[in-house]
Amino acid sequence: QNLDKAGLGVLIDLIATIGLGDAKAQDVLGRVYEYFLGEFAAAEGKKGGQFYTPASIVKLLVNMLEPYKGCVYDPCCGSGGMFVQAEKLVEAHQWRIDDISIYGQESNQTTYRLCRMNLAIRGIDGSNVRWNGEGSFLNDAHKDMKAEFIIANPPFNDSDWSGELLRDDPRWQYGVPPTSNANFAWMQHMIYHLAPNGTLGLVLANGSLSSNNGGEGDIRKAIVEAKLVDCIVALPDKLFYNTGIPACLWFISRDRKNHNFRSREDEILFIDARNLGEMVTRRNRVFSDDGIERIADTYHRWRRIDGDYEDEKGFCKAASLDEVRKHNHVLTPGRYVGIPDEEDDGVPFEEKMATLTKELAGQMQQGEVLDARIRENLAKVGFSLLELGE
């Protein structure tokens, strides 16, 4: 809810008493704010997902893209987690924080205020993060902006995006998105705003990888054949507070032929991360730092000129465009990476069989002893197994 002026004034006065000029104080306060955002999102459940993307997913996106220089854009920025994590990565690598600029848009006014507070606490310039109630589709606040990095988690399968009013929009360069689902509208909006050397990473529902509804299959085919798709990551379940819908990450690059990395325009990297992550509650899973590093490092080794990437059955596969065409442009990673081989412990089959037979004989003998004890105890109280329905 909106704060009244008196309440907002008290909050501003409270924050003003904290020594924000000190970098350490900024970091501590920022961590506290981020913690409460996460706790509030968890408590809110479905509503919480409207403004908060779980930290481990944000960290994975940012670590894969490594936004270190240029414009970082999020057209549905929520509480600003993508921007905060980008700044953290820049600082961790000792890059120049002044080399990146933040651009964003948010349609929910309360969420927009959470974002501006989140950025202000950390000393991040949020002047180019804009709010309007119409949103990025109907009222694009940055019409002429082209970003080097785009990172976003748009609403999944949104049917209420006013698509019927935008049938002739110039952003739909790869096909007109169905009015019933905004997944490919978000994707094309972001591609439209991507600089010639830009890359983007976005979270989408798994249906985007295989759906043919409303022409989505044709749009996906056009984007693949334009050689824009760099990498697809399948995510495990229970990562999000607001939905149980299986999700994936799309990574798209404008220049895949030769821009700081090797030419890879005739390949797509598929990563199946569904078996990664750790359950922290009965309902929620997070990626560990090791899991994030494993996924991001696989992507980096694959695209680097001097990378030592190798396919790993059941986890990652660099598939050719011809392979993708054979699958009718369906991009589900499981189709490409395969099933991991069972580990061979080197013990001959005959030896394994003898050991298992011996274990079974021992268990059967133990079962007979237990049966005898049960019969004996039942007899003491006047029952038999026959009376109990043996």
CA-wise closest residue to 319 among 190, 210, 216, 230: 230
Stronger pLDDT, 51 or 172, i.e. the higher one: 172
Q: Is the pLDDT of residue 92 over 90?
A: no
State residue 383's pLDDT score: 62
- The pLDDT tens digits for 308-320 are 999 999 999 999 9
- The pLDDT tens digits for 346-374 are 677 777 788 888 888 888 888 888 888 87
Instruction: Look at 214-228, 311-325, 376-390 and tell me which has the smallest mean pLDDT.
Output: 376-390
Instruction: Look at 95-109, 189-203, 215-229, 266-280 and tell me which has the smallest mean pLDDT.
Output: 95-109
Tokens encoding 263: 């030419």
Question: What number is the average pLDDT over the span 173-200?
Answer: 96
Q: How confident is the model at residue 384 (pLDDT cuts 50, 70, 90)?
A: low
State residue 113's pLDDT score: 85
Question: What number is the average pLDDT over the span 334-356?
Answer: 77
Residues 6+ away with beta carbon under 8 Å from 371: none
Computed over every residue of the chain, the mean pLDDT equals 83
Alpha-carbon span 298 to 333, nearest angstrom: 14
Q: How confident is the model at residue 284 (pLDDT cuts 50, 70, 90)?
A: confident
Q: What 3-state DSSP class applies to 383? A: coil
Instruction: Look at 26-35, 108-117, 170-179, 282-291 and tell me which has the smallest mean pLDDT.
Output: 26-35
Instruction: Name the CATH superfamily for 5-337.
Output: Vaccinia Virus protein VP39 (3.40.50.150)
State residue 344's pLDDT score: 54
Residues 6+ away with beta carbon under 8 Å from 48: 40, 41, 42, 241, 242
Domain boundaries, the chain: 5-337, 346-390
Question: What number is the average pLDDT over the span 102-112?
Answer: 88
Please report where in the chains the tokens 């990378």 appear, as a residue: 307
